[in-house]
């Protein structure tokens, strides 16, 4: 089963249980040399930034759940692309599937979206300073 690094709405365990019922939450992870953004379409993404780190959660993703996750992320429509990247875990560095927004232009979050992401980040006990950085997107583009 592949690892999947979620940094946005898919950090929410209840939502993932509906979308990907055979997958299992493992714990926190970090994607170095990237930063969190809200792209112009109003959803979370990450972009390269050598001095920053994106926090999120890791899922052990069942192969049977990958098509549903691809549909949710809008891969066929071009909203997100996916790639395997090194992610820092409690057990060391592991390669994990990550969905990257195809747009790198910053935007404002869709109504209610970032609040959901922030609740999931709090539930995952991501660092308070990182959650403050994410919350700043409520004021608009970064």
Mark the binding-site residues for substrate, compressed into ranges. 113
Q: For the chain, what's the residue count?
A: 142
Q: Is 73 a catalytic residue?
A: yes
Given the structure tokens 């001095």, which residue do they identify? 51
**Class of residue 96 by CB neighbours under 10 A (exposed 0-12, middle 13-18, buried 19+):** buried
Q: Among residues 60, 73, 115, 133, which one is catalytic?
A: 73
Measured CA distances, 33 to 5, 46, 54, 117 (Å): 15, 10, 8, 21
Tokens matching residue 59:
């899922």
**Phi and psi, residue 20, nearest 5°:** -135, 70
Q: Which of 129, 112, 124, 119 is CA-nearest to residue 38? A: 112
The annotation places the binding site at 113
Q: Which residues are known to be catalytic?
A: 73
């Amino acid at each position: 089963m592949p690892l999947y690094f979620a940094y946005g709405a898919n950090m929410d365990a209840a939502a993932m249980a509906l979308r990907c019922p055979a997958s299992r939450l493992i714990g926190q992870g970090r994607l170095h040399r990237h930063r969190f953004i809200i792209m112009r379409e109003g959803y979370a993404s990450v972009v390269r930034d050598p001095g920053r780190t994106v926090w999120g959660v890791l899922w052990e993703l069942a192969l049977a759940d990958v098509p549903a996750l691809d549909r949710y992320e809008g891969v066929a429509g071009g909203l997100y692309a996916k790639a395997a990247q090194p992610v820092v875990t409690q057990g060391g560095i592991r390669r994990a599937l990550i969905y990257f927004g195809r747009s790198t232009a910053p935007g404002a979050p869709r109504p209610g979206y970032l609040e959901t992401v922030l609740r999931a980040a709090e539930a995952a006990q991501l660092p308070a300073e990182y959650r403050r950085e994410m919350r700043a997107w409520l004021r608009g583009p970064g």
